[in-house]
Each structure stands twice: as C-alpha cells, then as structure tokens.
A and B are shown apart, each in its own frame.
Chain A
Amino acid sequence: MNPPVSSLDPAVAQPLARLLLAAADDKLILGHRNGDWTGLGPILEEDIAFSNIAQDEIAHAQELYRLAAALLEPRADPTVAANRLAYARGPAERLCAELVVIPDEFDWASAVARQFFFDHFDAVRLPRMQRGSYAPLAELAGKMHLEIGLHLRHFDEWIRRLGHGTAESRTRIIAALAKLWPYALGLFEALDGQERLAGAGIDPGTDAAAEAEWRAQVAAVIKSAGLPPLDDTAAPRLGGRQGRHSPALAELLNELGEVYRLEPDAAW
C-alpha cells in the first residue's frame, strides 16, 4: 500500500497508516461480531450491554479509519475515504488479528472470552498510544481508553461469574479461553515497518513489555475467577497482521459490505 505525499516523513506515514488500519480493522470486525448478538444475548440487560459495547468498537473504528484516510487520501472527502477503507478493502488487505475473525458459533463463553482478551489488549496499548508524538492518534487513544473502562469491568465480571458459576459455565469458559488463547496472542503480532515508528516517538503499544503486562492482567482475572491458568508456552496464531486470514473473513466482509457495494461513496 503506497501512501501519497503527506506532511509526515513517508517512512513514518506508511507504517503509521498501517497501524491505524490494523486497529480500525480489529474494532470494525469485532464490533460486527458483537452486533450479531443483538437480540440473542442470554438476558435482556446483556443485549443492551453488548450492543453498547459493539457501538463503542465501531465508533472507534470509524475514527481510526478517518485518521488513516487523512494520511492515505488527504485530498479526498474524509467520510467517503474512511468508508472506502472500512468497506471496500478485501480480506488480504485487512490487518486485524485472527481473534476477531474466527466465528464464535453463538457460544456465549466464546463471545465473553474474545472481548475479555481484546479489552485488556486495549487497556495496555491505548495508554502507550496516548503518549505518542502523533497528536491526532494520541488524543483519540485517550478518549478510547476512557470508554473501554466499562468494557473491562463488564467482561472481567463475566469471567468471574462463569468461573464461579455452574459446572457447565466453568467447563465452557475454560474451553473458550483455551481455544481463543493462541489467537489472542496474535494481537501482539508486529506490523510491517512497525520498527520505524519508535524513532518517530509513536508507540503501537504491542512491544514485549506491553504483552507481559497484558498476560499478567489476564492471568490475574482468570485466577480470581477460580479458573486454571492459561498455557504460558502456547504458540501464537500469527498471520492476521500480514493479511493472512481464514475464509471466515471473506464471508464476514461480504455481509458487512453488502449495502456499501450497492452504491459505493453514496451519502446515506
């Protein structure tokens, strides 16, 4: 992907745009998956909660796509350009981690585990992004960090509720956490050119220290839920940040982009 001329050094603008797109793709796909639960949550209050949380993720994605559009298509209408980045890119161009791609098969424990891993990922990377030198991302990261506070509380509680619940809830959350753990580790996979960001004072929030912090946070909640620890030696499922995805993503993008493709660039 070649960025056009921008005021940033192109050597920095390109990996920065990639970082913004990866974060946006994560949140758009995750929000879409969460939206599938509207009307199907275990209780009404959970429908409302999950929809609110999906709304946050998609809103964050929208703002991230806008920032990416400002770098990649500075002369285009920002809304039109952001929509193109959100809807028109194919599966091989998507930089989301596979965690958000694999279907949860309408298993509530999987939906909980997915958001639990992701919210703690946000909790470690957003403050680091907030301290970065690229002001538009730093400010947005600050706002996003405030908003995920309620997500964290909500899903940490669900992990505990399922862990301390019934034999069935315990079995299912253990299985879901174990199944998604290698994919969650993929959240920290490096993006191409990422090493050029540090020199420019931009922190993607995915270095070894961030990952260690995330592992510790996740382990603490799991322990408090009375659940067995996750396998420290598990190998991460990589490829998502390089555009290598399972066929599930193509299916999802087909559905996601259906209305957009009827009339691309339309104002609705």
Chain B
Amino acid sequence: MSDPFDGVQPAGLREAIREALGRIDDPEMPISIVDLGIIAGVTADNGQVTVRITPTFTGCPALEMIHGLIRQELGRIPGVAQVRIETVFDPPWTAERISDAGKLRLREHGITTPRPSAGERLVQLGAGSAAPVCPYCHSTQTRLDSPFGPTRCRQIHYCPACHNSFEHIRSAPPAASAAPAPRA
C-alpha cells in the first residue's frame, strides 16, 4: 500500500500532518485513523489541505466525529488555512489496510484482525481464511460466534480453550467460513 501522505510538500508539512492525523484515534477502537487505513490520500495546496477518507463501512457512525477531529488537529498546524475532507469509495477499505503497528495495538486490547500481515499470502484451507488466533491464550481453535458485532466492522469470536469472547475486525465481504457454528 503506497504512502497516502506522499502528495504533500514540503516534507516538514507532510510529517506534521502525518503526526497530527496519527494522534487521532478511532472513536470506537484503540487504533489511530492512520493505522486503521482509512486515509486514502492527502494533498496540500497553498494552505488548503484535502484529506480523502475511504470509510470502513458506508454506515460507520464515527465518521462525522472523525471529520471534526481531523479539522481540529490539522487546524493547529501553522500554514494550514483550510481543511477539506472528501469521502471516497475507491480504493474501498479492507481490513488488509490496517498497519502492522495498528494490528499489534488492537491485539493488545483483545481485538484480532485478519492474518497474516500485509504482504504475506494466505494458504486457503477449505472454505475460507484461517480462524483468528485467540488474543488471550493464543489458541488457533477459535470459532465464530456471530458475524455481527458492536460495530459493522467487527464480528464476535469465542475461544473454547480459555472461555473468552473476543472481537475480530473484518472487511466486507467476510471470509467464506462465516457461517456460525451450531451452539452445543
């Protein structure tokens, strides 16, 4: 995935913007909007900064709040006179856009993401991608409890080894193995 901040000159402004946006956490998850991968691109032209966002899901209710936080943080940077935010659907967001640093921080909070990390190829076994590794006990024998969770980008898994539920971030469409296991 190319650097969405590449289009910003000079380098000092680029890094100031990158750092400012990196300070903004998603209102509902312990991850920055940069690490989440929703920044499609940033351009700067004579004091006007345009941020293109590719939302996780069209219905994400946190977007308006994120817009406000972006304006607030970028407005503090000297030389930024105006902030424009555009919603784009191309490239569409996928969970693969989450950075490695973001995945680590999510996992520390008990939230898993599709494995493997960016760049690796997944060996497809049977119907779909591998089950998430339990963030608590690291068991690989987890199961999907519900394809729908507290937000549209999360589903609920269960670890029979340590008896914990945990959330898993996924894009649309979800893995083919998303059919819930029958309850015992």
**Contact with A60, one of B58, B88, B92 (Cβ below 8 angstroms):** B58
**Contact with B146, one of A45, A55, A149 (Cβ below 8 angstroms):** A45
Q: Does A59 contact B (CB under 8 A)?
A: yes
Residues of B with C-beta under 8 A to A150 = 147-148, 172-174, 178
Q: Does A70 contact B (CB under 8 A)?
A: no
Give CA–CA (A143, B60) in the complex, Å: 13
B149's nearest neighbour on chain A, judged by CB, is A48
**A139–B90 contact, CB under 8 A?**
yes
Q: Does A147 contact B (CB under 8 A)?
A: yes
Residues of B with C-beta under 8 A to A60 = 58-59
**A149–B172 contact, CB under 8 A?**
yes
Q: By DSSP majority rule, is chain A's interface helix, strand, loop, or mixed?
A: helix
Quick one: which of A27-69 are within 8 Å of B by CB?
Answer: 45, 48-49, 52, 55-56, 58-60, 62-63
Chain A 132-159: CB-based contact to B (< 8 A → 1; otherwise 0): 0000000110111011011001100100
How many A-B Cβ pairs are below 8 Å? 62
**B148–A48 contact, CB under 8 A?**
yes
**A153–B178 contact, CB under 8 A?**
yes
Interface residue range, chain B = 20 to 34
Give CA–CA (A140, B89) in the complex, Å: 6
Q: Does B5 contact A (CB under 8 A)?
A: no
Chain A 56-86: CB-based contact to B (< 8 A → 1; otherwise 0): 1011101100000000000000000000000
Q: Does B125 contact A (CB under 8 A)?
A: no
Residues of B with C-beta under 8 A to A140 = 58, 89
**Contact with A142, one of B61, B89, B148 (Cβ below 8 angstroms):** B89
User: Which of B58, B149, B171, B178 counts the most A-chain CB atoms under 10 A from its CB?
Assistant: B58
Chain B 171-184: CB-based contact to A (< 8 A → 1; otherwise 0): 11110001100000
Residues of B with C-beta under 8 A to A157 = 179
Residues of B with C-beta under 8 A to A142 = 89-90, 92
A50's nearest neighbour on chain B, judged by CB, is B148
Quick one: which of A143-185 are within 8 Å of B by CB?
Answer: 143-144, 146-147, 149-150, 153-154, 157
**B152–A55 contact, CB under 8 A?**
yes
Min distance, Cβ A135 to any Cβ of chain B, angstroms: 8
Give CA–CA (A144, B148) in the complex, Å: 17
Q: Does B57 contact A (CB under 8 A)?
A: yes
Give CA–CA (A56, B61) in the complex, Å: 11
Give CA–CA (A60, B148) in the complex, Å: 18
**A63–B58 contact, CB under 8 A?**
yes
**B59–A58 contact, CB under 8 A?**
yes
Give CA–CA (A57, B174) in the complex, Å: 18
Min distance, Cβ A1 to any Cβ of chain B, angstroms: 25
**A149–B148 contact, CB under 8 A?**
no
Min distance, Cβ A140 to any Cβ of chain B, angstroms: 6
Give CA–CA (A26, B1) in the complex, Å: 36
Known contacts: A139-B89, A149-B172. The answer to whether A56 contacts B146 by CB under 8 A is no
Chain B 42-59: CB-based contact to A (< 8 A → 1; otherwise 0): 000000000000000111
Binding site for B on A (CB under 8 A): 45, 48-49, 52, 55-56, 58-60, 62-63, 139-140, 142-144, 146-147, 149-150, 153-154, 157
Binding site for A on B (CB under 8 A): 57-61, 88-90, 92, 146-149, 152, 171-174, 178-179
Known A56-B58, A153-B147; 13 more pairs at CB < 8 Å: A48-B148, A48-B149, A59-B58, A63-B58, A139-B89, A139-B90, A140-B89, A147-B58, A147-B172, A149-B172, A150-B172, A150-B173, A150-B174
